[in-house]
Amino acid sequence: MKRLKQLLVVCFLLTGAGNVRAQVAFSFVPQVHGRTLDGLLMVRIANPAAQKAIVTLTVTVTEQRGGRVVAIQTPPFELLPGSNVLPAGLVARSSIHFAANKLGDVTRQSGYFTEGDYEYCFELADINKQKEVIGQQCFDYFLEPFSPLLLMTPGEQDVICDKKPSFFWQPLLPAIPGMQYRLVLVELKSGQAKVEALHYNTPIINQLNIAMPMLFYPSIARQLEEGKQYVWQVTAYKNDMKLADSEVWNFTVSCTDSSKKALPESFRNIEDLAQGNFYLAKNELLFAVKNVYDKNTLSYQIKCITQPDQKIKKLPQIKLERGINHVTIDLSENRSFIDGYYYILTVKLPSGEEKQLRFLYKKEQE
């Protein structure tokens, strides 16, 4: 009897008085596809009905402060039962209306949305039923521009002896859930441009699905050769959507001068490091600070970016002399620092000015 009542309730919800019908649902990732005009039509539509329908889609983008930015109305297309992607080339045949404001002008000229708090609304209408709305859904997202995807090491025009080097780059920020990286490494032949080599030469490494901004040399890849030049590039992507490309850097493998010993990393001015906004800390942080005042103690703190709730303890006290000070902060013996994690150093200079340095900690065996 109880089962019969449950079935009756389900039947009533599905049929009602003949007016109740399941609506379509939209799947849209504003973190990825809400950045460009073309990305708006990367939406997926789930149609629970068993029949096909001829529909039009209207997409409206609004910024909280700036108001309406753009409205797109597609020509009619066929909606199939189940999951649907929009037909290729639909955006080129759509009617696009930009708002007569600054945001509308910028989007029309560039095809990109600027930083802002956006609402993306989708409305689907059935042409054969007097344009009856069969689905509506909105998505909110605060859009921040991506930081540049910067390569770190091997550096541009570096000469290295390692024939199986590790690769490091700065992560793309803001982080997108599910974002991954692809790294391509090819040989640079005589007379070739770097981009030409990347596009036409057979890759030595073509690694997909890299979760972290680093790649240890793949064991299946052949080792690099003495005296040859190589170029590499990193791409950030999510699913089939490319988010950003790095520059193309080249380096040379050369071990001919075996008499040269590895020199310790030089102490660079904290001002220069802060401008570059990235640093690879191999066991320790090294930087120079100029103090034109009397002797005092350096005011600084370090926070973890990878795991923000992690507490950094037992940082050494740094005494500053008058003039140029070479500061060494040993990280290798401090358990607060984890190999492969990102951190940010904030230094309050004797002048009162603050400088920040984001760095990747790499623990290396002595």
Q: Are strands 279-282 and 354-362 parallel, antiparallel or unpaired?
A: parallel
Q: Which stretch of 13-17, 168-172, 284-288, 303-307 has the lowest confidence by average pLDDT? A: 13-17
Query: What burial class does residue 92 get, using C-beta atoms within 10 Å of its C-beta: 0-12 exposed, 13-18 middle, 19+ buried?
Result: exposed
Q: Is 274 exposed, middle or buried (0-12, 13-18, 19+ CB in 10 A)?
A: buried
Question: Cα(353)–Cα(293) distance, rounded to whole angstroms?
Answer: 14
Hey, what are 139's tokens? 């998505």
Across residues 10-34, what is the average pLDDT?
A: 64
Residues 331-362: tens digit of each pLDDT: 988 888 988 888 888 888 877 788 888 888 88
Contact 148, 234 (CB under 8 A): no
Question: Band of the pLDDT at 274, cuts 50, 70, 90?
Answer: low
| CA-angle at 309, arms to 150 and 148, nearest 5° | 15
pLDDT at 259: 38
Which numeric CATH code is attached to 151-253? 2.60.40.10
Tally of CB atoms within 10 A around 316: 11
Residue 256 or 23, more confident: 23
Level-2 CATH architecture, domain 268-362: Sandwich (2.60)
Average pLDDT over residues 282-293: 82
12-143, CATH topology level: Immunoglobulin-like (2.60.40)
Strand pairing report for 167-169 and 158-160 = unpaired
* Tens-digit pLDDT profile for residues 182-207: 999 999 999 999 999 999 999 999 99
The two structure tokens encoding residue 121: 């609304």
Q: What is the pLDDT of residue 164?
A: 92
List C-alpha distances in Å: 274 to 277, 289, 305, 363: 5, 12, 16, 22
Q: Could you tell me where in the chain the CATH 2.60.40.10 domains are found?
A: 12-143, 151-253
CB 55 within 8 A of CB 127: yes
pLDDT digits (tens, 9 = 90+) for 31-57: 889 998 989 999 999 999 888 999 999
Predicted confidence band at 124 (pLDDT cuts at 50, 70, 90)? very high
Q: Tell me which of 10-14, 135-139, 154-158, 264-268 is least confident.
A: 10-14
**Who contacts 259 (Cβ-Cβ below 8 Å, separation ≥6)?**
none
Give the per-residue pLDDT at 277.
Answer: 55
Residues whose CB falls within 8 Å of the CB of residue 276, separated by 6 or more in sequence, listed in order = none
Mean pLDDT rounded to a whole number for the chain: 85
Residue with tokens 């001015």: 269
Which tokens sit at 214?
A: 């680093």
Structural Rg of the chain based on CA atoms: 28
Could you give the CA distance from residue 286 to residue 279 in angstroms, rounded to a whole number?
10
